[in-house]
Amino acid sequence: MRRVFRKVALITILAATPLMRAADRDERVRELSSKFICICGGCNQLLMNCNHLGCPSREGMLKDLRRQIDQGKDDNAILAYFAEKYGTTVLSAPPASGFNLTAWVMPFAALFIGALAAIYFLRQFRTRWADTQPSPDLAKYQGKVEEELKKFTPED
């Protein structure tokens, strides 16, 4: 009984392996094809998205991609192969190295610097505001005046 079970299990695994491999490969094709631009010129779409009728490049590029995956290459090697074969414009995003790193860093650097500048100005404003505050006695009355005024000013 155990032998039979082992045989069935072995046959199942052997039969399922190519299917699993195919599924893995499809998944990698899908993932990697979003990292390339179709080189047909004009549509400017990701290889995975490019499906316009009569596209002369898509099928060839996908075949090439499947071949590279079947050769057991890792993602970086495939990216390098495509960049070498089709030119650097085939990559859908600039690699995060060398000068291209600035493409990735600059937006966040701008946000960070902007945030620092905003906080700096807010602090400056607050310091100046504190300097221009009236004495506590006067502030007491001013607060009352503002409260009274508030009743006549619609809030937005």
Partner 1 sequence: MAAQLGQFALALAWVVTAYSVVASILGIRFKHDKLIASGRNAALGTTVCITTAIICLGYLFAVSDFSVKYIAAHSNRDLPFYFKISSIWGGQEGSLLFWGWLLTVYSSLVIMQNWRKHSSMMPYVTAVLMTTSLFFTSMHLFAVNPFNQTVILSSQTSPLPFVPRDGSGLNPLLQDAYMVIHPPMLYLGFVGFAVPFAFAMAAMVTKQLGDTWIRTTRRWTMVAWMFLSIGILLGGKWAYHELGWGGFWAWDPVENASLMPWLIGTAFLHSVMVQEKKGMLKVWNIVLVIMTYIMSIFGTFLTRSGVVNSVHAFAQSSIGGYFAAFIVIALSAALYLLFDRLPYLKSENQMESIVSRESSFMFNNLVLLAACFAVFWGTMFPVISEAVKGVKITVGAPFFNKVNVPIAIFLMFLTGVGPLLAWRKASTNSLKRNFLWPAVIALAAGVVLYARGVQHFYAWLSLVMSIFVALTIAREFYKGAKARSVGTGETFIEAVVNLTLRNTRRYGGYIVHVAFVLLFIGWSGQAFTTDGSSEMGVGDTMSIREYTLRMEKLGIEDTPNYSSDKATVGLFAYGNKVANLFPERRVYKAGQEPQPTSEVAIYSTVRNDVYVVFAGATPGGKKAIIQVFYNPLTMWVWIGGIVLVIGTLIALLPNKKTPIRKRQQPESLEEPKKVETSVS
Determine whether 86 is exposed, middle or buried from the number of CB atoms within 10 Å of its CB (0-12, 13-18, 19+). Answer: middle
Shortest reach from residue 156's CB to partner 1, in Å: 5
Shortest reach from residue 36's CB to partner 1, in Å: 9
Which of the ranges 1-9, 11-19, 69-77, 84-92 carries the binding residues for partner 1, by CB under 8 A?
Answer: 84-92
Q: Which is nearer to partner 1, 41 or 72 (CB)?
A: 41
Q: Does 126 bind partner 1 (CB under 8 A)?
A: yes
Q: Which is nearer to partner 1, 5 or 99 (CB)?
A: 99
**φ/ψ of residue 82, rounded to 5:** -65, -40
Q: Write the Ramachandran bin of 41: left for phi over 0, alpha for psi from -120 to 50, otherwise beta.
A: left
Strand, coil or helix: what is 91? strand
d(CA 48, CA 134): 66
The residues that touch partner 1, with contacts defined as CB under 8 A, are 34-35, 37, 42-46, 49-54, 88-94, 99-100, 103-104, 106-108, 110-111, 114-115, 118-119, 121-122, 125-126, 128-129, 132, 154-156
